[in-house]
Amino acid sequence: RHSFLYSDARAWRAYMGMRVMTTGNNGALTRPIRRILLHPQYDQFTSDYDIALLELSAPVFFNDLVQPVCVPAPTHTFTTGTSCYVTGWGVLMEDGELASRLQEASVKIINRNICNKLYDEAVTPRMLCAGNLQGGVDACQGDSGGPLVCLERGRRWFLAGIVSWGEGCARLNRPGVYTQVVKFTDWIHQQTKGQV
């Protein structure tokens, strides 16, 4: 959501299936954005309700590089210690250069109470934490809005979180904080009229 706070949908395009950032689209699917649906309760000071939906101008057809991810049911639980993956085009290290190749990092779900203590009670019930408390692996600047996905039962990928905030990148006792998608499943279905 914070990535689209002052945005006009006409200024954005969605790229799918891109692995390397190049001047051409390198075989990626591209769609203009028809509209951006911002969560009405978003708080820019606390990053609570940090979620937005993008309506594309045309359908997307899946291929080897473009696949859907499952939206979890409101009762779905991603247990502490579950290994998940975050991907993005952000900087490779704090204050570093942007990635030219899509990056992927394996991170573990961290107990919310522990994370909340580390962040002085700033982690709301609509957030989840993932990373490594020893540091070394994390999302970073430029990854905001990116997916945190977990492989679950039946070998299906579920969208557990959306990169939201953190303190620096990959620091000791400073895991990444994500929008917890299960808390927004009902809102997603209301906005998409159940077509997700």
pLDDT for the residue numbered 153: 78
CATH number of this structure's domain 2-67+184-192: 2.40.10.10
**154 falls in which pLDDT band (50, 70, 90)?**
confident
- For domain 83-183, the CATH class is mainly beta
Given a cut of 80, whether residue 185 has pLDDT beyond it is yes
**Domains of the chain by residue range:** 2-67+184-192, 83-183
pLDDT tens for 49-59 read 999 999 999 99
Furthest C-alpha separation in the chain = 45
**Confidence (pLDDT) at 119:** 97
Residue 140, pLDDT score: 92
Which whole number is the average pLDDT over 7-25?
82
List pLDDT tens digits, range 89-106.
999 989 888 888 899 999
- pLDDT value of position 88: 93
Q: What is the pLDDT of residue 24?
A: 66
- Mean pLDDT of the region 8-18: 87
Is the pLDDT at 34 greater than 80? The verdict is yes
**pTM (two decimals):** 0.92
Equal fold, 2-67+184-192 vs 83-183: yes
- Specify whether the backbone of 99 is left (phi greater than 0), alpha (psi in -120 to 50) or beta: beta
Torsion sign across C-alpha atoms 126, 180, 103, 1? negative
Q: What is the mean pLDDT of residues 168-190?
A: 96
Least confidently predicted of 14-18, 50-54, 123-127:
14-18
